[in-house]
Amino acid sequence: MTTHAGHDLLHDLTPPADEDPLVDVARQLLKEIGEDPDREGLRDTPQRFARWWREFTDYHPGTTDTLFEATTTSQLVIVSDIAVWSLCEHHLLPFSATITIAYRPTGHLLGLSKFARVAHNHAHRLQVQERLVADIATDITTITGAPDVAVIARGEHLCMTMRGIKTSALMTSTAYHGAFSTDPALRAELLSLTRS
C-alpha cells in the first residue's frame, strides 16, 4: 500500500502529462555527465533542448514541386552552395554540408527555391551524407521527370571534428543519375562549372 508521502514522492518524479518527454531525457543527460539540471544556467536547458529537437526534426520545407515549362531540353541547370545542417545518425552530432544539384530539364523547370527545400527536407533528420545525396537526387528525378540528375555534397562532420581523431576535414559524396553516371564529358562539364 502506497503511503500519502510515498504517493507525493512518486508524483514529484513524474513529469507533467503535457511536458515533452525529451525534457526528462535532457535532465537525465545532464545528471549523467555530472551536472545539476536545477542549477542557475541549466534550469531552462531541458526545455530548450526539447524544443530544438522538435523544431529540427519536425521541420517542413514547404512546397517542393513547383514546375515551369522549359524552353529548351539541352540546357544544364546547376544550383550550388545550398547550405544545410543535418545530424549524424551514428553519434547524434551535427554535420554541415554544401549541396550542389544539377539536372537537364526534359520539359519542365523546377522553381529555384525548390532545390533548397528538397535539400533541407532530407537534411532535417538523422542522416549519413551518402544517403543524403542519394535521397536528394531521387527526389529531383521524381519531381522533374528528368533522368539526368547529379548531386554533390561537401560536408564537415562534428563527429570527427569534436571526437575521435578531433581533426577537421571535408567529406565529398556524389549521386549521379542518367547521363551523369555514363557520360564522362558531362560530369567533367559539371565539375568544371562548380569549381569556377
Considering only CA atoms, which of 116, 117, 132 is closest in space to residue 175?
132
In this prediction, residue 75 carries a pLDDT of 87
Q: Which architecture does CATH list for 4-57? A: Orthogonal Bundle (1.10)
In this prediction, residue 127 carries a pLDDT of 97
Residue 150: Cβ within 10 Å count: 27
CA dihedral 28, 32, 33, 37 (to 10 degrees): 40
Identical fold between 4-57 and 67-195: no
User: Digits of tens for pLDDT over the chain (196 positions)?
Assistant: 444 444 444 445 555 668 999 999 999 999 999 999 999 999 999 999 999 999 999 999 889 988 998 776 678 999 999 999 999 999 999 999 999 999 999 888 999 999 999 999 999 999 999 999 999 999 999 999 999 999 999 999 999 999 999 999 999 999 999 999 999 999 999 999 998 6
Residue type, 174: T
Grid cell at residue 64: 517542393
In this prediction, residue 11 carries a pLDDT of 47
CA dihedral 172, 82, 77, 186 (to 10 degrees): -10
Where exactly are the structural domains of the chain? 4-57, 67-195
In this prediction, residue 74 carries a pLDDT of 73
Q: Say yes or no: domain 67-195 is CATH 3.30.1130.10.
A: yes
Number of helices and strands (H, E) in the chain? 8, 7
Q: What is the pTM assigned to this prediction?
A: 0.86
Distance CA 125, CA 147 (A): 26
Grid cell at residue 178: 542518367
In this prediction, residue 146 carries a pLDDT of 94
